[in-house]
Amino acid sequence: MASASATGKLSREEFRRQKDLDAARKAGTAPAALDEEGRAINPHIPQYIAQAPWYLDTGAPSLSHQRIPEYDRSSDKLDNWYDRGAKAGPAAKKYRKGACENCGAMTHKKQDCLERPRKRGAKFTNKAIAPDEIVQEIASGYDAKRDRWNGYDASEHKKVYEEYAAVEAARQKQREDEIDKQTTTDLAAVRKVAKAGKGEGGKDDDFGSSDEEDDDQDKYAESADAVGQKLDTKTRITVRNLRIREDTAKYLINLDPSSAYYDPKTRSMRDNPMKNVSAEDAQFAGDNFLRSSGEAPEVQRLQLFAWNAAARGNDVHMNANPTQGQLLHVEYQKTKEQLKDSTKGSILSKYGGEEYLEKVPKELLQGQTEEYVEFSRTGQVIKGKERAAVRSKYSEDVFINNHTAVWGSWYDLTTGQWGFACCHSFVHLSYCTGSAGISAAAASSAKNLLTSTSSSSMPPPPVPAHALASLSSQSEAPPPPVGKEDRQKKAEELFSKKRLGEGEIKLDETRLAAAVREERDRKRKGRPDDDDPWGKGKKKKAGDEVTEEELEAYRMNRRMTEDPMANYVDEDL
């Protein structure tokens, strides 16, 4: 409570007396506490309201922290603002100590100066010293601080009105001058002729009265916008935003959500909803579709010309007088072409460059030549100039190290390697040896062939001298051409099943039975297939090898895990 707010910590006895006093005040047996103004404080006010926060606690019972502080209401007036840009008298002649080093004013420092930083400040030049500003201390309230228009002079907005009015008057004067200069029959010319035919009294002698009043009424009535319609009276274009109820809605033509986009706000569908139907045959081809066949483009150009002429003040209307609009359009096009030609001629005569505007002859543009080329039905050249070979981005026909052929132009069937066709070399960056390299390669291949075909048990028979001579003579000569049958026979020899160990091999039945029994015993004892497939645990002689019978027994007893029928059990049996 308010009486309990005291500085310092209370002892137990003081706290007990304070509680008893608060209870007596609530019961009415003790007088209520008084604040600094002598007003009684209600003892039933809760403590969280009566007790002041630590930053406002004065040590005496009070409720001032719950009241709005009083301040001068006069400071909230909107006209209470400082004078913008006010100067305190004329500027000084010399720099004064303590002034701004940039401009020389005494009311601020260099870091707070708002003028452009000078190359040499007023402190060093003593020139162009700025006058001192008037610094006003305005005690503004809450509303005055947050008023965005505080200090604004409303008379400044009058200049904006005057500026726009002057621009509009100049624009109106320019339009009147353009209308007067035109040769077409417009309203201004009709009015001038009508005024010239009138008498001095301002009345028409023929009709007996002026038609100024009727003219004004018709003019204002015609230019008035219709209520409830989007109608531009100057161009007479009706913007129909609603569809006819008998027509099919655009969004119902194609119910596919991935078709043309429909904007429900403007009721527009710019694309064709039926992509597989041509725009000419479609029920609705989209808002952007424009039929440009026949005389439709010309009619559109005439209508556009009539709208532009009417906007400039000319009396041109395509529906009321189409012949006049067409004649004026023809005259406009002729005048436009003449003006364009005169402008072009004046520019060329002044700057030159007419030779660059001459057209190239059609023969050169279409690329016609005297060369005769005849093609077949498939597009191949039969007679005439051959087509240039299509080349890729990679380098082609690049010969290195004196080679006359590229790498990979020769393939050796015996070794299965690629090389150069000019020297039969298999080394990529080797130097070309020509025919000598071919002879050496042939001799090497023949020697390897003899070595492979000879038996390992019997030594090769000695080669007679005349055979060596013939072999050397054959090596010097170029190798005979290899036919298709020879290549096929060589390939069968190299890749035959018998050579690869997959051909038909004669097995000994007795050895095979013994090998099968031994393999079954090995599997029964639980030896793993991969670690000891043929009983490596038992000691074998140095020259022992796996025989064909043991290999066949292993294949017969091996469990094929990848076989889909390995676990098949016929339940019918």
Tokens of residue 202, six digits: 């301002």
Q: What is the pLDDT of residue 456?
A: 44
Residue 208 has pLDDT above 70, yes or no: no
Residues in the chain: 573
pLDDT band at 330 (very low <50, low <70, confident <90, very high): very high
Averaged pLDDT, 84-97? 87
Residue 32 has pLDDT above 60, yes or no: yes
> 153 and 81 in contact (C-beta within 8 Å)?
no
pLDDT band at 337 (very low <50, low <70, confident <90, very high): very high
pLDDT band at 486 (very low <50, low <70, confident <90, very high): confident
| Choice between 474 and 244, residue whose per-residue pLDDT is larger | 244
Q: What is the pLDDT of residue 378?
A: 82
| Choice between 443 and 190, residue whose per-residue pLDDT is larger | 443
- Minimum mean pLDDT among 159-173, 308-322, 464-478, 514-528: which range? 464-478
Left (φ > 0), alpha (ψ -120 to 50) or beta: where does 569 sit? Answer: beta
| Choice between 251 and 487, residue whose per-residue pLDDT is larger | 251
Nearest by Cα to 113 from 137, 125, 128, 130: 130
Residue 206 has pLDDT above 50, yes or no: no
Find the Cα–Cα–Cα–Cα dihedral 485, 486, 491, 497, rounded to 10°: 80
Q: What is the pLDDT of residue 5?
A: 45
Other C-beta atoms lying within 10 Å of the C-beta of residue 332 = 14
Mean pLDDT of the chain: 76
pLDDT band at 357 (very low <50, low <70, confident <90, very high): confident
Q: What percentage of the chain reaches a pLDDT higher than 70?
A: 68
**Residue given tokens 């502080």 in the structure block:** 69
Q: What is the pLDDT of residue 239?
A: 52
Find the Cα–Cα–Cα–Cα dihedral 406, 407, 408, 414, rounded to 10°: 120
Other C-beta atoms lying within 10 Å of the C-beta of residue 388 = 6
Q: How far apart are CA 549 and CA 518, in angstroms?
A: 11
Q: What is the pTM of this model?
A: 0.23
**pLDDT, tens digit (0-9, with 9 covering 90-100), for 130-144:** 999 988 877 777 777
pLDDT band at 562 (very low <50, low <70, confident <90, very high): low
Other C-beta atoms lying within 10 Å of the C-beta of residue 52 = 19
**pLDDT, tens digit (0-9, with 9 covering 90-100), for 501-531:** 555 667 888 888 898 888 888 888 765 544 4
Strands (E), 173-241: 231-232, 237-238
Q: What is the pLDDT of residue 6?
A: 47
**pLDDT, tens digit (0-9, with 9 covering 90-100), for 216-274:** 555 555 555 554 445 555 555 555 556 777 888 888 999 998 899 999 888 888 888 98
CA 437 to chain centre: 61
CA 347 to chain centre: 42
The DSSP result for 222-251, as a single string, is: HHSPPTTS-EETTTTEE---S--TTSPPGG
> 141 and 71 in contact (C-beta within 8 Å)?
yes
Find the Cα–Cα–Cα–Cα dihedral 323, 328, 330, 332, rounded to 10°: -170
Other C-beta atoms lying within 10 Å of the C-beta of residue 350 = 7
185, burial (CB in 10 Å: exposed 0-12, middle 13-18, buried 19+): middle
538-541 — which CB contacts under 8 Å span 24+ positions?
none
> 321 and 189 in contact (C-beta within 8 Å)?
no
Q: How far apart are CA 1 and CA 50, in angstroms?
A: 5
Averaged pLDDT, 292-313? 86
Nearest by Cα to 283 from 327, 324, 239, 252: 252
Q: What is the pLDDT of residue 494?
A: 60
Q: What percentage of the chain reaches a pLDDT higher than 90?
A: 22
Q: How far apart are CA 226 and CA 488, in angstroms?
A: 98
Q: Per mean pLDDT, which of 461-475, 541-555, 557-571 is the most reliable?
A: 541-555
Beta strands 410-412 and 417-419 are: antiparallel
Q: Per mean pLDDT, which of 4-8, 210-214, 311-315, 491-495 is the most reliable?
A: 311-315
Q: What is the pLDDT of residue 209?
A: 47
Q: What is the pLDDT of residue 381?
A: 78
Residues 6+ apart with CB under 8 A from 517: none
Q: What is the pLDDT of residue 471?
A: 46
Residue 71 has pLDDT above 70, yes or no: no
Averaged pLDDT, 458-480? 50
Nearest by Cα to 275 from 261, 265, 264, 291: 261
Q: How far apart are CA 329 and CA 338, in angstroms?
A: 14
**Residue given tokens 């402190």 in the structure block:** 123
Averaged pLDDT, 148-158? 83
Q: What is the pLDDT of residue 453?
A: 57
Residue 479 has pLDDT above 80, yes or no: no
> 402 and 394 in contact (C-beta within 8 Å)?
no
pLDDT band at 12 (very low <50, low <70, confident <90, very high): very high
Nearest by Cα to 405 from 439, 386, 428: 428
Q: What is the pLDDT of residue 111?
A: 93
Q: What is the pLDDT of residue 60?
A: 87
